[in-house]
Chain A
Amino acid sequence: MNTALIAQASENDTQNLTGGLFIAVVLLTVAITFWASRQNKTAADYYAGGRSFTGAQNGFAIAGDYMSAASFLGISGAIALTGYDGFLYSIGFLVAWLVALLLVAELLRNSGRFTMADQLAYRMRQVPVRTAAATSTVVVSIFYLLAQMVGAGALVALLLGVSSDSAKNLTIAGVGALMIFYVVVGGMKGTTWVQIVKAVLLMGGTILITVLVLAEFNFNLSDLLGTAAENSGQGSAFLEPGLKYGVSLTSKIDFVSLSLALILGTAGLPHILIRFYTTPTARQARKSVLWAIALIGTFYLMTLVLGFGAAALVTGDEKEEIATSGGNLASPLLAEAVGGGPGSTGGAVLLALISAVAFATILAVVAGLTLTSASSVAHDMYANVIKKGDVTEKQEIRTARIAAFVIGGVAILLAIPGKNLNVAFLVALAFAVAASANLPALLYNLFWKRFSTRGATWSIYGGLVSSVGLVIFSPVVSGKGEDPTGKNLSLLPTNIDISWFPLENPGLISIPLGFFFGWLGTVTTKDRDSEERYVELDVRTMTGAGAEK
């Protein structure tokens, strides 16, 4: 009788359960935001959460900010579909954190206040460097944000089992409205707690599924891999590099280019950088990166089990579904399979749970991105470029809130018509811009005394224009044609082809260019003003003397 009852759990019930858990996630995060907003008084509260987060808290928040739905659903999906090459991708995402730990986190915490630009503006001319840094901050964040929002529309629709255009539009608008709410009401404090909660949910959900998958194979990894290879139909090639990136010389070089952008881009992502300001000291910032590395590393190790687990354990119709979803449904359907399979109560509960985790993941990441752009617009552009520093904290915070509304609104308006376009490349592009435009300027500023205002603006604009420019003429924007199912693989309609740059990832060219322009702009100017305050910057970054408290 029991089995009969279990079998009654229909697809409808699963969707109701998923919907219920989505609402629970929304209610939980809204409550947190209200609770966190009680003490939002000063600019440091709004932009940096009062610099009151411990290393461990900030480590969870960094992990929550960094691990997007693209890595949760995308990487396990890529492994499920292309085997080992999906794993290759995630290693770059982790190793990158060493750049942040060794070269950036502590020094930035000691020398900046609220935004990436603060660190440059410490010894450069305010208006040009802030304008440049704010431009690249907003560009990187909007690219990343658009990819997340378009992805959210498709994902939530997929997870809830609705596929109409109006449902997707509604989802995008709903996610957008929520992120605006978190940022406007909660500021950095609210956003941080949303990210912490998300990181806990994500780690918990992933650990649960990983253990269940491994238990199916008596914790024998080799057996899991063997079954995955067998069921993939690819044999042992499934466990070796090459299925995705190894098809041609171009795709191999493209992979090198992507790898460079990943390891150098992370430490230049503005939404990651501003997280370092939320701790009381540089030492806590260091501790937070250690926590982040532990969490992110553990997570990517588990995606290996999830991806190969999905290839090994998900069969029949569900296997087809993973392929049609481009891999995004691998983790949720794996959860259903290890919970007892389609139609079982256990399967339905786990499917709903993992879907809700994915939803929380999307919310936390888009909130972080919106806050970052709004902070840069308010603190860099409004307060320091337009008003030349002659503003009260109250005016600045109000501007940040208005900016969050506008940026969120623009993101919704762009994501709705863009929802059927192929925008997955925007995440890789955001990393490439961060590596080409932001990281060179940050590193030069910290370690090269002679670095000048012109060098800073040239490296930022040079890296930005070359990375975005190359992508416009790359196959991701036009000329890639259609896949066998008739889906356009490029951004522009298939009858337009303006591509001449062969790589999909510009990093290989644009990162050296960013460094080159920074050097060129500096050695060709007689301006030595920025050297005067290098002594101070140097002492401050290394010792924390005079750092913001």
Chain B
Amino acid sequence: MIANERVLAVDQSLPSSWSRTRIGIFLRQPVSWVFLIVGGIIAFLSLYPAAFLFYGSLTDAPLGVPGHFTLANYIRAYADPEAYPLLLNSFIFGFGSSGLSVVFALSLAWVTIRTNAPYRRLFELTAIIPNILPPILVSISWVMLLNPSNGLINASIVKLLGVEQGPFNIYSIPGLIFVEALILTPLAFLIIAAAMKSMDPSLEESAKTLGSGELGVACRITFPLMRPAILAAATLNFVRAVESFDTPAIIALPARIEVFTTKIWREALGSFPTNHNLAAAYGVGILAIALTFVYLYRRLTSQVENFSTVTGKGFRPHQIDLGGWRYLASGFSFLLLVLLVILPILVLLLVALLPYYHVPTWQTWHKLTLENFRYIWATSRVHRAFANSMFLALFGATVCMTLAALASYITVRSKIAARGILEGLVFIPWAFPGTALALGLLWAYVDFPIPVYATIWIILIAYVTRFLPYGMRAVSSTIIQIHKELEEASVVCGAGFLSTFRRVLIPMMRPGVMAGWIILVTIFMREFSATLFLYSPGAEPLGPLLYFLYLDGMRGRVAAIGLVISLISVILIAIAQRYSHWESK
């Protein structure tokens, strides 16, 4: 009875009127304290650097120099009629690549998790690999494969079929969407796969009992139930595509296709001297778009009970026997794997083994060299960078996921009025273009009372600030699926909030937490846009090292280091999956 009252008290802890009694009730709940602490940390992390950027967008002088209040940056950014068709291009690019990535991810997740297709475990392990590679390398690989003049695939078709020109042209809107979709697929895969693993098959079984076939069950039951995860992945990927610059710089620029980020680069970030004030004004626009999508996502998944498929009853998603079709399912997954992993990795391997990249001929075999791998082995700077990045990846991802798990719980489960704000806060730093945010972080922390600037800790702060939404999306979609009855049972048995969280929720959330952790580890191993401005020259992580080598035209070394990072990350992922709930069963 007392325990039941406690449950009710949690639900009624909404401090709608700030009377003493209500504040007292609010503060008596452990979840309120968790909300205050987590909310405080997140508010600080996101608002502090964002405030500098907002301030920057409303002033006419660089940070550190007294300026005047002005709206000129906004007028310049948004009164330009040219900006709007570009925004439309960005939307087509964002919707196209995010949609395609979700289709790829959903198919791959369904085949690898729910069916008995052969080699499914291998597909699952390798699907994450593209997330490990810096996006710029993936884009370059695809240019080498599909450029119209000497792309390897086009050149092979020309040679084999004797046609005049290859059929593919990477320098086009479909080319741009295709490459970005491949870059975004692993993130969507991890989020969707985590939710799929936590699914209770009872609804599916009911449908089957009522005579529905396997495909009908998948289309009418499984995929609709996956809606929170699909929308989470699509929202994240859409915003990520709209604010991405790497792929458009490599593919859109030569194709003379302009998107919003290439305009920001041309007008603000790439101009001389850099116009940070204008970049911040553009960033606020992207932020508004991102927040609109977060709002839509919340609306679409607001009736969370509809998606609760992890209940207190024993469950294990059953494996669908595809019969003879399983080979076709494996074939389809293999095709995706070829596009996502094998082709880019082969190109990178070729780049790493050649003294300079060229279309391979028979003479190429004589030119192969291990020089780039020897460079990794012999250079202490590379070893130090690996050590720094390993620390940042393992420790940073763990800190970020702890915060993400608590924040997700509050936003999805608690009835605290301000919980929606928490989710909006998380998205603020993420929606700014990477370089603009890096400047905001630099301005924010260069003169911070605690001397974190130019230490490894500021990089850690930057990573948590920027990538918390990834962690949150991965966990939230899993929490939405966990039925409340489990927590209620725990509370009825006398457990407090913290022990319920630790003993009931964390084990149930484990697939989502591990998926988020894996995403973050792979990103932190090679992140550079925020790191570049913040690391001290003595403590260089891998991201900036790769960037400098790329800047110096050392593609071979970049590819070699990229491959070694991939190998290390695959080992880390394999270990992490061992600890995942569904694997240990």
A binds B: no
* Residues of B near any A CB (own CB < 8 A): none
* Residues of A near any B CB (own CB < 8 A): none
